[in-house]
Structure 1
Amino acid sequence: MTKKLVIGITGATGSIYAIRLLEHLRDVPDVESHLVISPSGLLNIKYELDMNRQQVNALADHVHGFRDVGATLASGAFDTTGMIILPCSMRTLAACAHGFSDNLITRAADVHLKERRKLVLAIRETPFNLAHLRNMTAVTEMGGIIFPPLPAFYHHPKDLNEMIDHTVARMLAIFDIHIDGPKWQGTKSDLVTE
């Protein structure tokens, strides 16, 4: 059975994570990607990666318009494995927390929450203010998963790409989509002290 994964890209820094996720999904059989990019997300992609809309769209199986709230993704009848908003701006987090379905990303997120499907928000902002924290709590209480793309160092990454790929692999694992990458093997017993 084909897994359908919705990917929303918004106007926060960290668009490289979304691009790497889309690139990895192309190599995973039986996974169908559905992409929605906000205007700010597109602006960020151009600024951070010097990529245009056509280059990003070519990485996805299906592309949906940001304002197309009549798209298949806007209905709970469209069965998906889940949705990830990567990166997720604080504006999008707030919209998800308060049910503002004013574009296809926030509408699809609302659908995932109401249908009790997995929704992952890869929020990008620091430091957090109280509104950010309360919005994260609200989304978590509704069943969403807050997943800031924080790098891990236990696998001794050689470069930025390895750090990004490790984070992407952990995000995809939430949806039972597995790609190659380092896994935690536990500490060596000689490193443990009492």
Structure 2
Amino acid sequence: MIIVAITGASGVIYGIRLLEALKELKIESGLVISDAGKVVIESETDYSVEDIIGLSDNYYNFHDLTASINSGSFKAEGLVIVPCSMKTLSSIANGYGANTITRVADVSLKERRPTVIVPRETPLRSIHIQNMLTLSQEGAIILPAMPGFYSTHDTVDDQINFIVGKILDSLKIENELFKRWE
């Protein structure tokens, strides 16, 4: 199972498209959405929170610290936090597992599982960069939502697919969501 966490940063469409891609690839997904993430879904997209939950195979409550995914004995193949707010990034970097997203990230890192963090903020403060460095040094893959322009991206959907394809690449999941450099 790939666990997808959506936080309250702008860019929730990346998490939504990742869930769609996992479903298309027939890969089981787990989902956690922060309270702020739910607000952003409603404000940035035409999806309802229930629509997004329906894209996942397993849904976990943001406030349930007893959720199975919060245990090192739970077998997950990876975690993607997309988008990742700076609040969540800071909590993870500093070992503050106060909710299901930050706790599952703590577990994923300590168990040395693939952990992909897609930060969404610009410009960045030095502390944001330091927190990303801390997580990178612990094994997380920091994958900012920066679309490449070396292939033709005619639409916003193409740019979204580029980032989602790079996320899947980071998890070593074959995909054809974007045109590769030749």
* TM-score for both structures, normalised by structure 1: 0.91
The corresponding residue for 1:46 is 42
Partners in 1 of 2:169 and 2:137 — Cα distance?
21
Partners in 2 of 1:62 and 1:171 — Cα distance?
20
The corresponding residue for 1:81 is 77
Report the CA distance between 1:177 and its aligned residue.
1.5
Picking from 166, 171, 178, the partner of 1:170 is: 166
The corresponding residue for 2:23 is 26
Picking from 2, 6, 9, the partner of 2:3 is: 6
In the alignment, is residue 56 of structure 1 matched against residue 52 of structure 2? yes
Superimposed CA distance per residue, residues 46-96 of structure 1 (whole angstroms, 9 cap, x where no aligned partner): 000032221110100100000111011100101111100000000000011
Partners in 2 of 1:127 and 1:54 — Cα distance?
32
Q: Larger Cα Rg: Structure 1 or Structure 2?
A: 1
User: Share of identical aligned residues, percent?
Assistant: 40
Say which SS state the counterpart of residue 133 (structure 2) adopts: helix
Q: CA RMSD in A?
A: 1.0
Q: Name the stretch that deviates more: 4-13 or 149-158.
A: 149-158
In the alignment, is residue 16 of structure 1 matched against residue 19 of structure 2? no
Picking from 92, 95, 100, the partner of 1:96 is: 92
TM superposition outliers: structure 1 runs of 4+ over 2 Å: 181-186
Picking from 100, 109, 115, the partner of 1:113 is: 109
Report the CA distance between 1:158 and its aligned residue.
1.4
Partners in 2 of 1:102 and 1:27 — Cα distance?
32
Number of residue equivalences: 182
Say which SS state the counterpart of residue 58 (structure 1) adopts: helix
Superimposed CA distance per residue, residues 1-36 of structure 1 (whole angstroms, 9 cap, x where no aligned partner): xxx10100000000111111111111112x110000
Say which SS state the counterpart of residue 168 (structure 1) adopts: helix
Picking from 140, 144, 157, the partner of 2:140 is: 144
Report the CA distance between 1:182 and its aligned residue.
3.1
Say which SS state the counterpart of residue 66 (structure 1) adopts: coil
Report the CA distance between 1:185 and its aligned residue.
3.3
* TM-score for both structures, normalised by structure 2: 0.97
Say which SS state the counterpart of residue 28 (structure 2) adopts: strand
Q: Return 5+ residue gaps in structure 1 as ranges.
A: 187-194
Partners in 1 of 2:114 and 2:155 — Cα distance?
30
Q: Return 5+ residue gaps in structure 2 as ranges.
A: none
